[in-house]
Chains A and B, each alone.
Chain A
Amino acid sequence: MRTYHPLERLSRAKGMNAIVAVFMGMLIVAFFRVQVVGSDSWELRSESNRLRQLPIPAPRGTVYDRNGLILADNVPGYAITVLPAPRDSLLRTLAHLSEYMDISGERRERLIAYLDRYGNQPLVVDADADFAVVSALEERRSEFPGVYIEMRPRRRYLVGAAAGHVMGYVGEVTGDELESGEFRGDRYEQGMVVGKTGLEREYEERLQGYQGLRYVEMDARGRIVGDFGSFHTNPGAPGAELRVNIDMELQQWIHRIFPDSMIGAVVALDPADGSVLALYSAPSFDPNDFVGGIDANTWRALNTDERKPLYNRAVMGLYPPASTWKLATAGIALDQGVVDPDEEMPIPCTGSMWYGNRSWRCWNPQGHGYNNLAEAIGNSCDVYFYQIGLRIGLEQMLERANDIGFSRQCGIDLPQESKGDFPADKSYWSRVWGYTAQEGEVLNLAIGQGPNSQTPLKMAQFYVALARDGSAPPPTIAEGVTLGEGWKLNLRPEHIEALREGLRSVTAPGGTAHFGTTLEHWDVMGKTGTGEHRLSQAGLAPPHAWFAGMAGPFGGDPEIVVVVVVEYGASGSRTAAPIMAKTADFYLRKKHGIPLDTIQTLSEHLQTRGWPRWYRERYGSLP
């Protein structure tokens, strides 16, 4: 057996030994390279393997009303997040997740788009998950590698619909908003909750805060195994709080007294500084519905509702101001010095007036005879104001009305506000109507008709000027912000007194709004308005009802200005005026420490217990 001769065996054994040496040597060299030479870089990779950056969501700032009551705060919520993964495994995870929660096809596409764009950031599947979903997922933790559930602050609006339009609402930032740079900087990223409308949007920068970062140790299945507390943790910063001039209880009160069946707006301003006490638009919506994504049915209902609940009529709705605007005519005339408050106009009101080959009617065909300013306001006499308008002149009227901002925004601190609709100059008529403006246009303008539409907020700002010394600061919601200069009419104290006298006669015995506005404790004055519009002119619908008024203690300056518009409300004195009076009553009683009476206006007293004693004491006799 030559084959297995010892020498043969020896030489083959040497060959085998060489093979062992070569193979094992290769391994040792490979391990030397990886473990000794390249150890540092692998060490680094090992760290990044298990350390993940997770955002620490910043709670949004709390919003307080003027009395320190909370309008909006945060409660704990849950967000479901997926760690970045290859597209296929992400899709698989989403498909598996959708067995336990709703993930729309659109949402899925958006998540994939985010993944493609931002690569290695965690993706928020649901920024505000239901507790049922969260517990279902927690039970099946091991089935969902790469999915983690974190606590996130959830917005809560304490008065719901009562302050829906003022507060606005929050929602998840959309891809478009991120791309368009509406929410700029590295402060914003997918899955974050941002203000969409109202104060939430206006003061987004302040309320948002800064998202923090923490590093956690996470195992290969996406389970958080430990917190890396000391390792470059950036706690972030919670959003700053916001104090607003709004009176939350007043806001709730208005929400309660504004008739459910009616559409309209209420604006209450403090004449002391123009701060906004209440801003209400009816119908309202509950911003809590929007937190964590509004469900499709609610959203559809809000958008298809003909009453447009999402539309903030107080700052966006434009209505022909009608008779409430006569005060502006009067104010401009006094400011220009073309009329004296005691002076009676030369042409008496006989129910109409001739000017430029046609008859201009007064609303009352019976006529009002000779009127001074206060009487004319009390009677809302069109003929008187026609003549004032002519004295001011079209050019002056346009110029001065534009000066005091009837074609601008008030500049309130809300994201959307309509500009007043008022001709900037005479070219308006040739531009829009195709004819040269005649002096006669001023007659229409003088009684608040013609090309003139204003927001309830704008009219409220104008009445603030009357409740003060002729100057009007811009309406302001947030405390301690300055929103610009405002404007001023040059009115002497006796002018102011004459205008208020006129407003007071509207609510005095015999005035149209007497029954709806007369209150036990307060001196209420104001002006009704009947805003004709296209439908009402065609006789298809009642006109819009206005009441612009102010109230305060007897013998003192007004302490609140309230403007109410009720769409299709027909009668300013009957529908709008009581809302104004009750709003003022609530606020003033609270301010002066008088217990609230649910039976407030004279008409309410008459409906329940007959003539109140205070009425006899004030006026001596019954009308």
Chain B
Amino acid sequence: MIRLFERWAVDPALILTILGLSLFGTAMIYSAGQVHVPNPVTHGAWLRQARWFAIALVAFTLVSRVPVRWIEWVAVPSYVLSLVLLSVTLIIGTGAGTAAGVKSWIDLGPVSFQPAELAKISTVLVLARLLSQRLDPPDSLRDMLVPSVLVGLPLGLVILQPDLGTAMAFVGMLLAMLFWAGTPVVLLLLVASPVVGLVLSFDTAVWSWYIVGVVGFLYLYRYRLFLVESVGIVIANFAAGTIARPLWNSLAEYQQNRILVFLDPDVDPRGAGYQIIQSLVAIGSGGLRGKGFTLGPQKRFDFLPEQHTDFIFSVIGEELGFLGTVVTIVGFAYLLLRLVRMAQDTGDAFAGLILLGIFGAWLVHIFVNIGMTVGVVPITGIPLPFISYGGTFLLMSWVAAAIAVRVAHER
């Protein structure tokens, strides 16, 4: 029996973890539906999620048996298909459930799915193919250009939906894979520096010191970079600092509010700050041991926003307490560490890059989703893998896991 499971799972440690997370997630979705005044959306959600879970297991079984060669082969066509679908989504896409305002879903009659989820995996695959064919690390800005474009295309299309959370997953994926391919951390940091400069530019003094720091660093690091690149980074930093204001003004009001509220939720407790405050109240009142499974009052009284999708972790915090949150976070940490370990163990560049790509995307999902419920990260619509309600996302997460175990264990 155990042998059978091990053969099915290919990587029992990883699969046991995500099996546990998926079952736990379904249970929490059930709990999220247990409110005083039931509503049809959340009430039966756990059953629908369980059905998707069954489908996901079948998909896992099939995909984990596919030869790696096929996976390699399918990378480019699926990437192209993803771009097409993402473009189509922008035209005929619909919102769904609690995210009615965006165009992320393609409606196929009985089911609807999110092309962005397919895009994530195919981008990992295509990027892994590209980077694995290099003989030396991409350690110059020029080397990073093509990978950035490959990620930038789907990322741009996703941002247009708009789905900032998924877009961030693409960034995580790119950085993790570049790192694994050997890009020096310093270079990654320098590439990311304009974003930091953007944020800091709201205080002129801080920003000035920051620019001085960047220039100083570039001077110390001058032998590892081309002059053009150094100048480019400085210019990019200056540009970021300059466009910060106009960029801020061009943000939609709700986006500005989300950022302001992240800094101080109480500026608008009934409006933009509502979600984060309610989430904090739920999590905080959970205390050490929690209110008990299905018993959280904040959830029951409907104060929690999106409690079966993006804010499911607030339900966990309220009902299972600090102990529950720690166990869940440790579970996710183990999942991530296991992916790294699998990448470390595999000698195959393609396999390692795929594992790191999945790692990068999931790390962003996990950290941003859990972090926003507790006020560490601004609120972003991003689901928690294996836990949040959402059919496509669960299915594609399992498909990603199947690819991960397949490539990691094919020698």
Contact = CB atoms under 8 A, between A and B. Distances in A.
Contacts of A38: 284
B370 interface: yes
Given A20-B340, A30-B375, A32-B322, A6 B347 contact: yes
B271 interface: yes
A43 interface: yes
B359 A16 contact: yes
B322 A219 contact: no
B179 A16 contact: yes
B348 to A, nearest CB: 8
Contact of B341 (A13, A32, A36, A218): A13
A40 to B, nearest CB: 8
Interface string B247-277: 0000000000000000000000011000000
B74 interface: no
Contact of A218 (B134, B301, B317, B322): B301
A9 B285 contact: no
Nearest to B137: A3
B337 A20 contact: yes
B141 interface: no
A132 interface: no
B381 interface: no
Contact of A34 (B135, B284, B301, B349): B284
A52 to B, nearest CB: 11
Interface in A43-80: 43, 45-46, 49-50
Interface in B335-372: 336-337, 340-341, 343-344, 347-349, 352, 356, 359, 363, 367, 370-371
B168 to A, nearest CB: 13
Interface in B279-304: 280-288, 297-298, 300-303
A32 B303 CA distance: 22
B185 interface: yes
A23 interface: yes
Nearest to B349: A4
B127 interface: no
Interface string B100-114: 000000000000000
Interface string B171-212: 000001001111001000000000000000000000000000
Interface in A1-49: 1-4, 6, 8-10, 12-13, 15-17, 19-21, 23-24, 26-28, 30-32, 34-36, 38-39, 41-43, 45-46, 49
Contacts of A49: 278, 281, 298, 301, 303
B390 interface: no
Interface in A219-264: 219-221, 223, 225-226
Given A16-B359, A36-B322, A219-B37, A85 B136 contact: no
A50 B299 CA distance: 11
Interface string B105-142: 00000000000000000000000000000111100000
Contacts of A27: 329, 367, 370-371, 374, 376
Given A24-B332, A49-B298, A219 B176 contact: no
B302 A13 contact: no
Contacts of A226: 36
Contacts of A32: 322
A1 B317 CA distance: 46
A9 B329 contact: no
B288 A39 contact: yes
B333 interface: yes
Contact of A9 (B288, B343, B375): B343
A13 B180 CA distance: 8
A9 B181 CA distance: 10
A3 B353 CA distance: 12
B280 A42 contact: yes
Contacts of A16: 176, 179-180, 340, 343, 356, 359
Given A16-B340, A17-B340, A26 B287 contact: no
A610 to B, nearest CB: 79
Nearest to A223: B37
Given A23-B367, A27-B370, A30-B371, A35 B340 contact: no
A86 interface: yes
A35 B363 contact: no
B287 to A, nearest CB: 4
Contacts of A50: 297-298, 301, 303
A501 interface: no
A217 interface: yes
B329 A31 contact: yes
In this complex, which of A1, A8, A16, A41 has the most chain B Cβ atoms within 10 angstroms of its Cβ? Answer: A16
B325 interface: yes
Contact of A221 (B134, B302, B333): B302
A220 B302 contact: yes
| Residue with the highest number of chain A CB atoms closer than 10 Å, among B37, B300, B349 | B37
Contacts of A39: 284-288
Nearest to B274: A220
Nearest to B296: A46
B385 interface: no
B76 to A, nearest CB: 22
Contacts of A225: 36-37, 301
B47 interface: no
Given A28-B329, A86-B271, A219 B302 contact: yes
Nearest to B277: A45
A3 B349 contact: yes
Contact of A41 (B284, B322, B330): B284
Contacts of B180: 12, 16
Contacts of B376: 26-27, 30
Nearest to A218: B301
A408 to B, nearest CB: 58
Contacts of B185: 15
A21 B332 CA distance: 11
A49 B304 CA distance: 11
Contacts of A3: 134-137, 181-182, 349
B303 A20 contact: no
Contacts of A10: 344
B376 to A, nearest CB: 5
B359 A34 contact: no
Contacts of B181: 3
B159 interface: no
A34 B265 CA distance: 14
Contacts of A20: 333, 336-337, 340, 363
Nearest to B368: A23
A3 B337 CA distance: 21
Interface in A324-377: none
B326 interface: yes
B391 interface: no
A335 B376 CA distance: 95
Contacts of A21: 333
B321 interface: yes
A517 to B, nearest CB: 72
Nearest to B367: A23
Given A35-B317, A46-B285, A219-B37, A1 B349 contact: yes
Nearest to A88: B271
Contacts of A9: 343-344, 352
Interface of A: 1-4, 6, 8-10, 12-13, 15-17, 19-21, 23-24, 26-28, 30-32, 34-36, 38-39, 41-43, 45-46, 49-50, 85-86, 89, 217-221, 223, 225-226
Given A9-B343, A13-B343, A226-B36, 18 more contacts: A3-B182, A3-B349, A16-B180, A24-B329, A27-B367, A28-B329, A30-B371, A34-B284, A34-B374, A34-B375, A35-B287, A35-B317, A39-B287, A50-B301, A86-B270, A89-B270, A217-B301, A219-B303
20 contacts: A1-B135, A3-B181, A4-B347, A4-B348, A9-B343, A12-B180, A16-B340, A16-B343, A20-B340, A23-B367, A24-B336, A28-B325, A31-B325, A34-B375, A45-B281, A50-B298, A217-B301, A219-B35, A219-B300, A221-B302
Report the 3 A-B pairs with minimum CB-CB distance, sorted nearest first: A42-B284, A46-B285, A13-B344
